Structure 1
Amino acid sequence: MVHEILLPGRIVYGLGAFSQVGTYAAGLGRKALIVSDPIMEKIGHVETCRIHLQQAGIPSAVYTGVATEPTDRHLQEVLEVCRAEQCDVLIAVGGGSCIDAAKAAAVMMTNSGDISDYVGGSKAFAHRPLPLIAVPTTAGTGSEVTKVTVIINTSTNVKMMIAQPELLPQVAIVDALLCMSCPASVIASSGIDALCHAIEAYWSKKANPMTDGWALQAIDLLIKHLPICYTKKGETEDFAQIALGSMLAGAAFSNASVTLVHGMSRPLGALFHVPHGISNAMLLPAVLEFTAEYAEERVAAIGRIMRPDLAAEGSKRLVLAVIEEVKSLCRLLKIPNLHGWGLDKEQFSSAIPKMAADAIASGSPGNHPRPVTAEVIEALYRTCYAYQIE
């Protein structure tokens, strides 16, 4: 088989790397638009970015309206500011929501139509985007190294996933120091999102030897260091390791795709506003059990990483160990089931057919190692509603 690997033009990784944002921006444009959120503005990351840009001789404008997962309305607002301020380079400072909004804006600044026109590859971007520098402040989405953006269509309540090479940032700057101020809840949701990326990329039908290596290394880093960072007992090096794990997981799934967990997770976020990482975590244990028989050797390989003390055991024992370890991690991170999150059972049940249809339409379940139908997904949603991880 022939595989294509796509990554940002440049990845800058290490403690203190954020200080170089001005240098890279100066090589890409004359005026920057910083796309961020109110929290990043409050804790000072936006002002720090402006100072770094100023020191490099780059003036900047700021948009900090991405207070939720990005919607088509956020995108329109970013575009309006970018045009009004005549910016020619974008800098995303924040979590995956900020980066996804900036990706969509960078490409729609130079291409016609609506972002919805490009869902599912139905239309290719005809022109190169404005340059984008992605600076993640969470260790989770991996969006800084992916060709993917996810934007909520507020008219249809669908999370639109667009995956095209033009969405890759020109520069990814990964500085774990920016992640250390995250509250425990964000560390949990973003970290479990990264773990899902790695697991799904590894068992995806589109996996290849390069993505396999990235995915397995990401699993190793995340399973070791995420619990330490969550309990706030981690040192700087622990945060550096989960930042690296998140980036590797992002590179893996961007090139091998996600599967059923993400396919089911997006409709939950769009309809019930469950944070993306949390919805993934609510689904992962049940989907693991559903999948194990059809990807036994792959799940067993994950088991040798999660439980090296069981490396000599057979694949069935290792599969059980993976399920046990994921459940244990979810308990530590205080992940509830859908009922525990507070979703009304009647409203949830009535939404299941739409969520299953939207999951299938996203294309992600088609990459899953076990064949699925809308009816199968509907049953899994019902299982997940009151699923117990004890």
Structure 2
Amino acid sequence: MGFQAALPRILRVGGGVSGELAPLLATLGLSRPLIVTDRFLKDGGRADALMDELHKAGMAARIFADTLPEPTAASIEEARAFLEEGDHDCVVGFGGGSPIDSAKAIAVLAVHGGVCRDYKVPHVQDAPGLPVIAIPTTAGTGSEATRFTIVTDETTDEKMLLAGLAYLPTAALVDFELTLTMPPRLTADTGIDALTHAIEAYVSRRANPFSDSFALSAMRAIAPHLRRVWADPEDRPAREAMMFGSTQAGIAFSNASVALIHGMSRPIGAHFHVPHGLSNAMLLPAVTAFSAPGALRRYADCARAMGVAAAEEGDQGAVGKLIEDLTRINEELRVPTPAAYGIDADKWDALLPLMAEQALASGSPGNNPIVPDADEIQALYRQAWGP
């Protein structure tokens, strides 16, 4: 069986490696970076500290700090205009998934022009934009190692998937010490997001031996440590395991795909402004239970990798324990249902047909072990609604 694998050209992992940005840029022959970050990291001084180090190395760096928690086409245009005011040769995404996703889109538009909608899947953008260097500050999206980015069209409330090798960062600095100050809610949501990436990559119809190895390794790293970082944010070994697991999960789904959970999650985020990791968590138990009969052995492998089923456990029993554990994770990490989150019930019901249509149009449900129709997706949305 043939398959293609793609990774960042340079991947540096470990405590403190975020301080190696200047020498990394020099290695790549780059010296005029635009740092794309968010207001929290700018106001807290972290982004300025990063820029100060670049200035000390004689590099002409500037900061754009007005990314949004869920990047929109308008916010990308604003950032691109800022980039074009300077003479930049690369883009550094510093932050969670949103700044890194923003950096990817900005880098492509800066070279190829147009607007984000021009690059929406099924378009595949392999011709490179400006080089992107990713420095993640959360353990969840894996965006530092993926060939995807997500941008919301604010005029239609559609989360657009942009895909291709152009979005794969040239390099990434994966420093778990940047996650030590993450609050519990963000820790939980991004951690479950990473776990979802690993599970969906492994059960995807596009899984392959390369992605499988990273997906299983990610599950082994994430599952035993997710509750630990929730309970003790300063548990350094657990934070380190979560960060590396998140990157491995990103590599896995970038080289396989995500599936139904992500397809259904994106419309929740677009219409109700639910953070991406949280909307994945809301759907994870119900969609796993729906999908498991289509790939029973693979879901059982997930249960064993996560340590919730013994090696000798039969597939059916292992999958049952997997679904039970995913439900318990949501309970223990206080993941709200859409109802508990405060979403208006009438609006939720009214939007179900459109959300199902948008989920299918994203292409991700087509990678699922069981490919649902629109009615089945609506039924899953209703099941996830909760008390």
How does the TM-score come out when normalised to structure 2?
A: 0.97
Give the whole-Å Cα distance in 2 for the aligned partners of 1:74 and 1:202. 33
- Measured after TM superposition, the shift of residue 332 of structure 1 is 1.4
Q: Is the 8 A contact 2:100 2:136 kept in 1?
A: yes
Q: Does 1:285 align with 2:285?
A: yes
2:313 aligned counterpart, secondary structure: coil
- Aligned residue for 1:121, secondary structure, equals coil
Residue in 2 aligned with 1:68? 69
On the 8 A contact 1:35/1:92 being kept in 2, the answer is: yes
Query: Aligned-pair distance for 1:270?
Result: 0.3
Structure 1 segments (4+ residues) deviating >3 Å: none
Per-residue deviation, 1:92: 0.9
Distance 2:309 2:78 in 1: 52
What's the offset of the Cα at 1:348? 0.2
- Please say if residues 182 and 233 of structure 2, whose CA atoms lie closer than 8 Å, have aligned partners that are also in contact: no
What's 2:382 paired with? Answer: 382
Q: Secondary structure at the match of 1:256?
A: coil
Find the residue that maps to 1:377 and give its secondary structure: helix
Query: How far apart in 2 are the matches of 1:178 and 1:28?
Result: 26
Per-residue displacement from partner, 1:256-298 (whole Å, max 9, x unpaired)? 1000000000000000001101100000000011011111101
Report whether the alignment pairs 1:208 with 2:191.
Answer: no
Offset at 1:308?
A: 5.7
Please, which runs of 5 or more residues in structure 1 have no aligned partner?
Answer: none
Counterparts of 1:91 and 1:132 in 2: how far apart (Å)? 6
Deviations 1:108-133 (CA, angstroms, capped at 9, x unpaired): 110032121111133645x4211111
Whole-Å separation in 2 of the counterparts to 1:376 and 1:254: 26
Tell me by how many angstroms 1:371 deviates: 2.0
- Name the counterpart of 2:107: 106
> Whole-Å Cα distance in 1 between the matches of residues 353 and 114 of structure 2?
30
Q: Which amino acid aligns with 1:109?
A: A
Aligned ranges 1:104-183 → 2 under 5 Å: 104-122=105-123, 124=125, 127-183=127-183
1:3 is paired with a residue of what secondary structure? coil
Report the Cα distance in structure 2 between the residues aligned to 1:322 and 1:161, rounded to whole angstroms: 29
Contact 2:308 2:322 (C-alpha < 8 Å) held by counterparts: no
In 2, distance between residues paired with 1:123 and 1:223?
33
The one-letter amino acid of 2:123's match is: S
Q: Distance in 1 between matches of 2:233 and 2:371?
A: 41
Aligned to 1:20: 20
| Higher mean C-alpha deviation, range 302-311 or range 356-365 | 302-311
Asked if structure 1 preserves the Cα contact closer than 8 Å seen for 2:124 and 2:162, the reply is no
Alignment partner of 2:71: what SS? coil
- 8 Å CA contact 2:76, 2:105 repeated in 1: yes
Q: What is the correspondence of 1:7-46 to structure 2 with a 5 Å cutoff? A: 7-26=7-26, 27-46=28-47
State how far apart, in whole Å, the 2-side matches of 1:267 and 1:233 are. Answer: 31
d(CA) in 2 for partners of 1:11 and 1:105?
Answer: 21
Moved more, 326-335 or 27-36: 27-36
CA 1:67 to 1:112, structure 2 compared with 1: closer, same or farther past 3 Å? closer
- Change in Cα spacing, 1:303 to 1:263, as seen in structure 2 (3 Å) is same
1:90 partner SS: strand
Deviation at 1:52, TM superposition (A): 2.1
Pair 128,308 (structure 1): closer, same or farther in 2 beyond 3 Å: closer
CA contact (8 A) 2:194 2:245 kept: yes
CA drift of 1:310 comes to: 2.7
Task: State percent identity of aligned pairs.
Answer: 39
Deviates more, 1:174-183 or 1:40-49: 40-49
* Secondary structure of the corresponding residue to residue 162 of structure 1: strand
Alignment of 1:323-362 (within 5 A): 323-362=323-362
* Alignment root-mean-square deviation, CA: 1.3
1:321 matched to 2:321? The reply is: yes
Cα distance, 1:88 vs. partner?
1.5
AA aligned to 2:35 is I
- Counterpart of 1:188? 188
- Work out whether residues 198 and 253 of structure 1, in 8 Å CA contact, stay in contact via their aligned partners in 2: yes
SS at match of 2:324: helix
Structure 1 position 208, deviation (Å) = 0.5
Q: Is the contact between residue 148 and residue 161 of structure 1 (CA under 8 Å) also seen in structure 2? A: yes
1:226 is matched with 226
Displacement of 1:155 in angstroms is 1.3
Q: Measure the CA separation in 1 of the matches of 2:204 and 2:235.
A: 33
